[in-house]
Amino acid sequence: MLEALASIDIDALVKAFLLIVTTVSTIIAALNGNKATTATAEKEQAQAETNNVQKFFDPNDTTVMTAPAGTPTASYTMSDAVKNFLTDGESAEDKASILDQVLKAEQAGYVDYKIHYSRGTYLISYGQISGGSKNNN
């Protein structure tokens, strides 16, 4: 048995061991590098989404005019109270037209839009009435 141990090339064994350690270290470093790259990309994506939401709500910035995905609709859609105010005293045809225009604008993600009806126009901004005009009929 001692003869068998004596015939083992210790230098070759050390070199093989170091090669294995180096290979494993390289693989681990590559995997960690991919994780870091993925984390960086995810962070950049999150920051871009945050910037778009901020631009959406900034009245001086017109680069993002429809709600980014994930934006709570309650922050820019019209409440039932405002819808009731818009349609109070209007004909059934105008009520239907007004509500349909609001629905379509909100489905499209618009925050600033006009509603046209038989007696005039309403200007809407973030679900609130921001102006309007009456027809002179």
- The pLDDT confidence band at residue 71, using thresholds 50, 70 and 90, is confident
For residues 71-83, give the mean pLDDT: 86
Between CA 19 and CA 128 the distance in angstroms is 70
Dihedral sign computed on CA atoms, order 32, 37, 40, 45 = negative
Shortest CA distance to 97 belongs to which of 73, 78, 126, 119?
Answer: 119
CB 104 within 8 A of CB 97: no
Kindly report whether the global pTM for this prediction surpasses the value 0.75: no
- The pLDDT confidence band at residue 28, using thresholds 50, 70 and 90, is confident
118 versus 67: the higher-pLDDT residue is: 118
